[in-house]
Chains A and B, each alone.
With several copies, the nearest count.
Chain A
C-alpha cells in the first residue's frame, strides 16, 4: 500500500475523516467494514475490469503529441480519458461504485452532479446494472446544462433540483446528503475523491486504473518505468489522484495539479482552493476549503463547472501540505487559449477542466528529454457553448 494513501482511521496526514451526522453512522460503518474486502476481492476486480474493457473502452490510449511536443520542446503524452464512454474519467468511478453498491445489496443510487458529467456517468451505469437512479443537481446548473439533464433523463434517471445556496454543485451535494439522511437505504455514489472517509479512498482506488495503464503503456512504448512529469487538473481531485496513484511513491516523478484561478487568484472569482482556502470541513471531510473567517464556505468561480468546487479532496490536501504534489493555477483565459491550441494542432477538443492541465505547458520549462504525461480527463463536447462564445478571439 501507498504511504500517501494509507489512511489511519480515515485520515491522510491531518486530513480526511468522517464528519457526518449520527444518523449516517451506520451507513458509514457498513462502508468501512465492507469496502476493502469487497473492492479488493479478485472476482470483484474481474467484473470491474471486464466492464472497463468491454463497456467503457479501456485501456485508453497514451498518445504521443508530435506537434505539441515540438512546440514545447519536450515529449508530451496525453492520457486519453476523453475517449471513455460518456466522455470522461468519471465513469471509471461510477462503474466501480455501482458494482460495489450491488454487492452491498443496494437497489437505489443517489448522486450529485455539477455540470452533469458525473450525473451522466452514474445514470449510465445505473441503466446498465438495473439500479434506480436519482441525481441531485443545482437549479442553476439544471438551467445551464439543459442538454446533460436531458441525457440523464433519457438514460432513465430522475433529477431532483437543489434549490438552496447558490444552487450549484456544493448545494447538490448537500441535498444528496440530506436525502440520504432521510433514505439511508440508498447508496450514495459520490463523484470525486471528496466526502467522508472511506469515499476518497474508494474513488481513488477505482480511478487508479489511469496510472496503472500509464505505467504499463510507458513500459511498452518507451521501456521506462516512470515519466518525469504527470500533470492533471484538479476540481475535487479524482482524475488527478487516478493519474498519480501508482507514482506517488516514486519521488522523482514530478506531480502537478492545476487549479482554476478563474478570473484571477486575487479576484473573488476563483476556485484556487490551495491559495484562497484554509483547513476546514466540507462535505464531511477535513481538508482545504475556501471559507471566511467564521468557517462559512465561499462560493467558488470557474469558467469550468467541474472545477467550480470550493474544496479539494483530503488526499490532495495532504499531498499539498507535504509538497509531494505541486499546485499551479491558470485563469479562464489561459484555459481557453490552451483548448484552442490543442484543437488546432492535435485535433482534440478537450473538456474545459482538462484544458487547465494543458494551460500549464507554457509556464514550465521542460528538458528536451523529459517525458511529460498530461491527463486529458474529458472531451469538450459539453463545453462547446463556452468555446463558441470565444471563437473569434482564439481562431488563428
Chain B
C-alpha cells in the first residue's frame, strides 16, 4: 500500500508544500525536505525544474531558471533523494513536464523514482488517454501513483473520469490561474469547490494554485482534505536562513 493512502486515512487538514528541486541552491533539496518533515508538513511535492514550464507562474518560473542554472536535473535529484531516503516518512510527489519523463526514458524514470522514495507523480501536460494507453501499467508495475488535476473548467463527467484514474488524491486547481497569481479565494472558486463536494468523490482532494496564507489554507481545508502551497512557500525561502524561514512560513500557516 502506497503511503499516500496512509496519509488520507487519518482525516483532513493536510498541508502539502511544493518547491522546486535545486532552488535556491543545488543542494537545498535535501535540507528543505528534512525541515518540512520536521515542521509537520503532511506531503511534499518536488518540482523538477524545466526550461519551459508552461503552466507555472512567475515565481516558480524563476525558481526553475535558477535551479537549472544551479545544475539540477533528474539524475542529480534522484541521487540526492537516495541519500535521505531512509529518514523520510512523508509521501514525496514529483511534479514535472511530460518531455522530461519522455526524454529520460519513461521506464528508467519510474524506476529511479521508485528507488528514490517517490510515491506519486504529476505531469500537468500528459493527457489522460496517453497515460492510460502507454503508462498506466508501468506506473502500477513500479507502484507509483499518477495524480490528476481538475480545474473549475473541467466538466462534472470529466471530473468523475479523472477521479477514477487519479491515485492517492485528486489535485483540485482552485482558481483559473497559473500558480502564484496570489488572488485570494473568490466566490467563483467556492462554487467550484462546492461542485466537487457534491460529486461525492471516493478519492481525497487537495486544493492548490492560489493558497498563500493561513486563511486560504483553512478555507481549502473546509472543502477538501487539505491544501497545497507552492509559490508563496518558494517566495518565503531565505537562502541564508533556510531552516528559520521554512519554520516561520509553516508556522504562519498551521498556528
The verdict on B28 contacting chain A, using a C-beta distance below 8 Å, is no
Residues of chain A with a CB closer than 8 A to B90's CB? none
Most buried by B among A9, A178, A286: A178
A21-57 residues at the B interface, CB under 8 angstroms: 21-27
Residues of chain B with a CB closer than 8 A to A181's CB? 55, 176-178
The verdict on B68 contacting chain A, using a C-beta distance below 8 Å, is yes
Residues of A within 8 A of B (CB): 9, 17-27, 164-165, 170, 174, 177-178, 181-182, 184, 278-284, 286, 289, 291, 293-297
Going nearest first, the 5 A-B pairs with the smallest beta carbon separation are A295-B103, A281-B99, A21-B55, A295-B99, A296-B51
Tell me the minimal C-beta distance from A286 to chain B in angstroms: 8
Given A26-B154, A165-B51: A295 and B125 interface contact (C-beta under 8 Å) = no
Given A284-B125, A291-B103, A295-B102: A21 and B73 interface contact (C-beta under 8 Å) = no
Closest to A11 in B: B130
Residues of chain A with a CB closer than 8 A to B50's CB? 295-296
Alpha-carbon separation in the docked complex, A25 to B130 (Å):
14
Structural contact, A25 and B153, CB atoms closer than 8 A: yes
Residues of B within 8 A of A (CB): 50-58, 61-62, 65, 68, 73-75, 97-104, 124-127, 129-130, 148-151, 153-155, 158, 162, 173, 176-178, 181
Closest to B72 in A: A294
Closest to B58 in A: A164
Tell me the minimal C-beta distance from B98 to chain A in angstroms: 5
Interface residue from A174, A184, A281 paired with B153 (Cβ < 8 Å): A184
Interface residue from B56, B100, B151 paired with A22 (Cβ < 8 Å): B151
Residues of chain A with a CB closer than 8 A to B129's CB? 9
Closest to B162 in A: A22
Alpha-carbon separation in the docked complex, A286 to B74 (Å):
21
Closest to B183 in A: A182
Most buried by B among A27, A165, A278, A295: A295
Structural contact, B65 and A164, CB atoms closer than 8 A: yes
Tell me the minimal C-beta distance from B154 to chain A in angstroms: 6
Structural contact, A174 and B103, CB atoms closer than 8 A: no
Given A181-B55, A280-B103, A291-B99: A18 and B61 interface contact (C-beta under 8 Å) = no
Alpha-carbon separation in the docked complex, A21 to B177 (Å):
11
Residues of chain B with a CB closer than 8 A to A17's CB? 127, 130
Residues of chain A with a CB closer than 8 A to B73's CB? 294, 296
Given A295-B99, A296-B50: A182 and B177 interface contact (C-beta under 8 Å) = yes
Residues of chain B with a CB closer than 8 A to A184's CB? 153, 176
Tell me the minimal C-beta distance from A216 to chain B in angstroms: 39
Structural contact, A178 and B54, CB atoms closer than 8 A: yes
